[in-house]
Every structure is written in structure tokens, then in C-alpha cells.
Amino acid sequence: MTYSNLSKIKPKLRTTGNVTGNFGAPKRTKEAYNSQLGMSSKESIKCTTQDEYLNRLYYAFDNTSDPKLRRFIYSEIRKILIQRGAW
């Protein structure tokens, strides 16, 4: 008499990892989700300099009364000043 383990093997349920119930959808890689990241239809993009960003942070810090936002702005200003060696 031969003994078989075939009855003990459980089939794997293949899912996409989300909770929506998409059982038949193919799995996607990170690259598929990030393929459009950083793409723009603009011909030229102007990046904000660190000085402009710092000026905007100072302006926002003076004009807000929200304590969470003030803490965030303060930490950002502090990071920039530490990088520059001015802290």
C-alpha cells in the first residue's frame, strides 16, 4: 500500500494583495505603479530654490496660528539652517 501526501497539499489562493477581491488581476511590480511619477506635460519646470523656500517658510510661520503647522515649519527652518551651518 502506498501512502500519498496529495490530500494534505493545500492549494494557494492567488490574490493581488488588496482587499477589493480582484482575484483574477495580474500582479504588478513597483515600476508599473511609479511609471508616471515625475512625468509632466509642461515644457519647462521651475524648481524653487532653497532661499525662496526658506522665505516662504518664514512668511508662513508669521501668518499661521495652527500649532502643528508652526512646529512643522520651525523644524523645516531648523533643518535648512543646520545644513548651512547657521544654527
DSSP, res 24: S
Q: Is pTM, for the whole model, over 0.95?
A: no
Q: Which residue has the cell 482587499?
A: 19
Nine-digit cell string for 20: 477589493
pLDDT reported for residue 19: 55
pLDDT reported for residue 15: 55
Within 10 angstroms of residue 55's Cβ, the number of other Cβ atoms is 12
Within 10 angstroms of residue 73's Cβ, the number of other Cβ atoms is 19
For the chain, which ranges sit under pLDDT 50? Answer: none
